Structure 1
Amino acid sequence: MDALDEQLAEQRAETLRAGLADYELDDEDAALLASVTLGEDGIQFMPALPVVAIVGRPNVGKSALVNRILGRREAVVEDTPGVTRDRVTYKAEWNDRRFTLVDTGGWEPDAKGIDASVAAQAEIAIDLSDVVLFVVDAMVGATSTDEHVVKLLRRSGKPVFLVANKIDDARQEPEAAALWNLGLGEPYAVSAIHGRGVADLLDEMMKVLPEISAVAKQEIGGPRRVAILGRPNVGKSSLLNKAAGEERVVVNDLAGTTRDPV
């Protein structure tokens, strides 16, 4: 791009920002606008934030950990297994560093029907992540399903942090230590519900999380949100997958398949 083209690109960017001056933007959208650059064809590009995927078998506290990291209740949390089904993404921040956090449904081996689709979404999340937080219920201990997930994570080659969840006080920490036998290194004892140990986990994660994602695509365009609404089972998820050009969400004949905004 020559000097004239660079000048025109900057003028376009300034015009974009000026046109949004009358709108009330939250801090997240304002930060996105500040990072926008224009390519040679005038298309706006934003650097891809690093991606952190949270995975594990059903009902180990993945969504509770998502809410704890975000500092607000976004993900649906219930004691019933299988509440989360899709890959659900959130913009998160820790110590002034921004990243994309991906919640996933519970992974199970030999899953059938809708559970197989949920497991497939979790595997996609691993492939498209820079770092993985593998959540285990430390009070239950390592299960055969957890061991299957470990094999999956080893094949991925991604940096993995073993999160020993549901350790509410120091007396329970020996339960976390028992997870060393999974072979993933130190188990990080946390309580997603109470927040215990989560800060230490995130501090360690930041040491290996890249500044810019090595796998995520550069985002095109400025802040935008699109809502797809309709009564249950009319094809909203199918429409979203078609628009995204990928299997972004689980599609099933079961009414109420989608539970979280993605």
Structure 2
Amino acid sequence: MKPIIALVGRPNVGKSTFFNRLIGQRKAIVEDLPGTTRDRLYGDSDWNGRVFTVVDTAGLLFEEEDDSAPLAGIARRVRAQAELAIAEADVIVFMVDAIEGLTTADSDVAEVLRNTYKPVVLAANKADNQERALNAVEFYALNLGEPIPMSAYHGIGTGDVLDKVAEQLPVVEEETDDSTVKVAIVGRPNVGKSSLLNRLLGQERSVVSAVPGTTRDSIDTPLEYNGTNILLIDTAGIRRRGKIERGIEKYSVMRALRAVERADVALLLIDAEEGVTAQDTHVAGMILEQLKGVAILVNKWDL
């Protein structure tokens, strides 16, 4: 499994520019306007032989919001997306703006990151001349280690940042290649993934054990059906309700992506009562991008 690198920081520090450079294509919209990125984008990259998934997040702001403001709801959802990316990342690249210097918003983000106890690489972006690179030392005040001057736009110092990231990446054990068919059950929350899993485990099956999977927050369940070894890959929503906060589960696209990466076949559940939604098509797109087999299951059609 590929480790996850999250690019975080306040709005307009150059996260999307760095993201596009890493994945080698213009996937994220880049404008000189704060708040351009609202949803998490992901793509694969590699450095020094290490392959990883990069997640571009929306800019983080933690000041008190006016709930009556027209975009207050959007702002909360955007922040939830970014916070989830932080929670699921193996390494965090915290990007700051070397032109504007240290801001209160940077300090707010730094406080959140310190409480995650995860590896953080501090990248002082837009340091495209010697003066700005030297001024990056002021970011030592964030207490997140040495700030690395870089320019995502010009490609200056990006290798230094990636060297530091590569040092922090976890060791990934390769899964053994065997005849086991790996099946991921994916879909939106409350479409019936748990019911399907329980039904599969309750009929003509021989459960060996419930063993931790190779990815964080997943449980793999081996079973045997008509002489065929099958590995059911648990995704967000399968776990007991008390184990995952509702908001976290709602936005957990990365968990589904990791499950699909490992699977041979994905079972995509759709709620017949609600029909096909944008989130359904998003998950379906992830399956197609990974070139995996897929079966679309329409659940609750009898209700």
TM-score, normalised relative to structure 2: 0.57
Structure with greater strand share of residues? 2
Q: 1:221 maps to which residue?
A: 263
Residue aligning to 1:191: 151
Matched, 1:175 2:128: no
Report how far residue 82 of structure 1 moved.
1.0
Deviation of 1:131 after TM superposition, in Å, equals 0.3
How do residues 11-90 of structure 1 correspond to structure 2 at under 5 angstroms? 48-90=1-43
AA aligned to 1:133 is V
Structure 2 residue 157 is the aligned partner of structure 1 residue 116: no
SS at match of 1:156: coil
List alignment gaps of at least 5 residues for structure 2: 66-71, 173-213, 219-257, 269-274, 286-303
* CA–CA separation in structure 1 for the residues paired with 2:265 and 2:29: 24
1:123, distance to aligned residue in structure 2 (A): 0.4
Distance apart, 1:188 and its partner CA: 0.7
Q: Distance in 1 between matches of 2:170 and 2:90?
A: 8
Residues 94 and 202 in structure 1, CA contact (< 8 A), matched pair in contact too: yes
Q: How many residues align?
A: 189
In 1: Cα distance, 2:88 partner to 2:118 partner: 10
Cα offset, 1:154, TM superposition: 1.1
Q: 2:265, 2:18 → 1: CA distance?
A: 26
Q: Mean alpha-carbon deviation: is it higher for 166-175 or for 205-214?
A: 205-214
Corresponding residue number in structure 2 for 1:237: 278
| Amino acid of the structure 1 residue aligned with 2:278 | S
Q: 1:99 to 1:238 in 2, by over 3 A?
A: closer
Calculate percent identity across the aligned residue pairs.
42
Distance (whole Å) between structure 2 residues aligned to residue 223 and residue 235 of structure 1? 20
SS of aligned partner of 1:184: coil
> Please, what TM-score do these two structures have when normalized by structure 1?
0.66
- Shift in CA distance, 241/158, structure 1 to aligned 2, threshold 3 Å: same
User: Using the alignment, how far apart are the partners of 1:169 and 1:179 within structure 2?
Assistant: 17
Q: Does 1:210 align with 2:163?
A: no
Tell me whether 1:104 sits opposite 2:57 in the alignment: yes
Distance 1:200 1:58 in 2: 23
Note closer, same or farther for the CA distance 1:145–1:239 as it changes in structure 2 (3 Å cut).
Answer: same
Q: Distance in 2 between matches of 1:50 and 1:238?
A: 23
Deviation at 1:97, TM superposition (A): 1.4
RMSD: 2.6
SS at match of 1:133: strand
Change (3 A) 1:128 1:171: same
2:5 partner amino acid: V
Aligned-residue offset at 1:211:
3.0
SS of equivalent to 2:22: helix
